[in-house]
Amino acid sequence: MKKYLSAALIAAMAVGYISVGGLKATADAVERGFVSVTTYANTELPPDVVEISIAVQTEDSKSLQKATEENKQISDKVYSALSSMINKNDGDFVKTANYSAAPVYNYRNNKKELVKYEVSNSIIVHTKSVKDAGKIIDKAIALGATNINDLNFSVSSYDKQCDELLSIAAKKAYTRAGILASSAHNTLAGIKSLSGNCSTASAMPQYRMLAKNASFGAAVDSESAGASPIQGGVIKLHANLNASYFVK
């Protein structure tokens, strides 16, 4: 009986020691002081990539086949012409983004009436020849494209630029946290948490409107009238960083 009691007592003491040690370690972690800072870095870069979304829409009141054939003829001409205006060796490309062909109905007095057949083909042009954006748009419109749906400028070195800005923001965070800790008679003692992200901003709505305005007129001869005034402006790249450091 005594052997059993002694063994049980030893086991209980061991369990108690482990539990107390665990609580103490947790308490130490909770009680460690820390300082948190938020910093940022930004820059402005000229865009070196543009993506243009061009739509070819056709319709026929009686035949889906006719609307499809007409769309194919126009789309082939647009695709071929724009492919010759880009540098594929530099990563430029032209591709079909979306394609739809469907009847359009009107509902009147609980009856479905066929209005027309409508076909839409969306072509994406991706090029580093940003200066040629206006010429590309004008050529597409001249060949029968009906809409410029979107126009997006970007920077090909985004990841590299983001890394550099985050590095700058991280150095600022460490310096600022050190100043705060020193003011409270402490020193930094390691990273508690560190997170950052990058984002871009540009005046794209203005450029999109210019592109759409260009599509409303008659077909444009870019050689005689000059290319549509599409300007890339600048891309504003922002890096934000949140950092927390233990102090001692």
Q: What mean pLDDT do residues 88-94 have? A: 95
The pLDDT-based confidence of 30 (bands split at 50, 70, 90) is low
Handedness of CA 15, 18, 21, 26 (dihedral sign): negative
State the pTM of this model: 0.69
pLDDT in tens, 130-154: 999 999 999 999 999 999 999 999 9
Per this entry, what is the length of the chain? 248
Among 44, 41, 35, 43, CA closest to 170: 41
**pLDDT tens digits for 161-178?**
999 999 999 999 999 999
pLDDT, mean of residues 204-230: 48
The Cα–Cα gap between 73 and 22 comes to 75
Q: Is the pLDDT of residue 91 over 70?
A: yes
Beta strands per DSSP E along 6-162: 34-45, 49-60, 93-108, 111-127, 147-154
Q: In what order do the strands lie in the sheet with 147-154?
A: 93-108, 111-127, 49-60, 147-154
User: Biggest alpha carbon distance in the chain?
Assistant: 110
- Is a pLDDT exceeding 80 seen at residue 239? yes
Q: Is the pLDDT of residue 110 over 80?
A: yes
